[in-house]
Amino acid sequence: MRTLYVPGRQQAGGQSRLPGGECYVDRAARVSEICGRGLRVLHGAGTGDCGRSRRVPGWSYEGNTGPDHWADLSPDFTACRIGSQQTPIDLLNAQKAEVSIEIDYRPLPLRLANNGHTIQAAAADGGAVSIDGTGYDLAQFHFHHPSEHTLDGVAFDMELHLVHKSGAGGLAVVGVFMKEGSHNSALDAVFNCMPLNAGGEVLAVERFDPAVLLPKSRTGFRYTGSLTTPPCSEGLVWTVFQDPIEVSREQIRRFALLFPNNARPTQRKSDRGLAEAR
Ligand SMILES: [Zn+2]
């Protein structure tokens, strides 16, 4: 059995629905709604920390547990400092190319979790990609604000990461820049239903097609990199598309209220080639 969860409008206490905006709440999930947007906490999680996620103990994006200190926090995190294939990096427009990737996504129920570091959608049934003959199943996608990769030294407003896993355990991540522009109604289910607090989880909509997250062009960048969060494991196949998708200022603002900065700074490129696979 599920409880209907109706996000309010911007005014406090409003019962009206946002465009596209019914969300269904998992019975067992601890769910809170977007603070200050006329929404209320449904299960636990407290109302006193409107606007920001509570920090999960461990690593973070600032201060003594921020990116410069990740390697000090656990012996498992040493790659964050000594790795030679770390992500993100600055991408150079001059090195873009047509990247070889076959994408076969399919609609899935959109389950969003606030894990204290980002909003992440579980996407185990969302299809797969094929890169140079290796198949990788979509596992999850999540968001960063601002972007982690930069293009000629410039960051975008946000970046989406679609994380895929091969049968052998290899990881391939597809990065999509997001920039301020038109309202993106295809992403209402994400931006209207984000759980406010760390630990919050919501079934946002029954059917969401991950393909709406992709730009049309397959021009971009391919390189070997790492997770951008601890333990910063290496050997990941990165594909970052050149063209951004657009989201509205309000959509960005909603995410930024929860995560003012959840982007790791750019890392040394060392001798890695960009767009090495075509
Ligand atoms: Zn990421």
Q: How far apart are the CA of 59 and the centre of ligand 1, in A?
A: 14
Reported as a single tens digit per residue, the pLDDT across 52-92 is 444 434 899 999 999 999 999 999 999 999 999 999 999 99
| C-beta atoms surrounding 152 within 10 Å | 9
Instruction: Say what the pLDDT of residue 273 is.
Output: 65
Q: pTM of the entire structure?
A: 0.81
Q: Identify the bridge partners of residue 25 per DSSP, sorted by sequence position.
A: 3
Q: How far apart are the CA of 103 and the centre of ligand 1, in A?
A: 19
Nearest CA to 77 among 204, 227, 222? 227
Q: How far apart are the CA of 72 and the centre of ligand 1, in A?
A: 21
Q: How far apart are the CA of 153 and the centre of ligand 1, in A?
A: 19
The pair of structure tokens assigned to 161 is: 């990461």
Instruction: Say what the pLDDT of residue 270 is.
Output: 75
Contact 24, 6 (CB under 8 A): no
Query: Where are the chain's structural domains?
Result: 3-258
Helix, strand, coil % over all residues of the chain, rounded to 5: 15, 35, 50
Nearest CA to 208 among 183, 190, 184, 234? 190
Q: How far apart are the CA of 205 and the centre of ligand 1, in A?
A: 22
Query: Looking at the chain, which runs of residues are DSSP E strands?
Result: 3-5, 23-25, 90-91, 97-98, 102-105, 108-114, 119-122, 127-131, 134-144, 150-151, 154-155, 158-166, 171-180, 201-208, 219-226, 234-241, 245-247
Angle value at C-alpha 171, between 240 and 241, nearest 5 degrees = 10
Instruction: Say what the pLDDT of residue 73 is.
Output: 93
The pair of structure tokens assigned to 196 is: 């406010």
Tell me the CATH architecture of domain 3-258.
Answer: Roll (3.10)
Residue numbers of the chain with a pLDDT score lower than 50: 1-57, 276-278
d(CA 258, CA 200): 12
Q: How far apart are the CA of 43 and the centre of ligand 1, in A?
A: 28
Instruction: Say what the pLDDT of residue 274 is.
Output: 64
Q: How far apart are the CA of 120 and the centre of ligand 1, in A?
A: 9
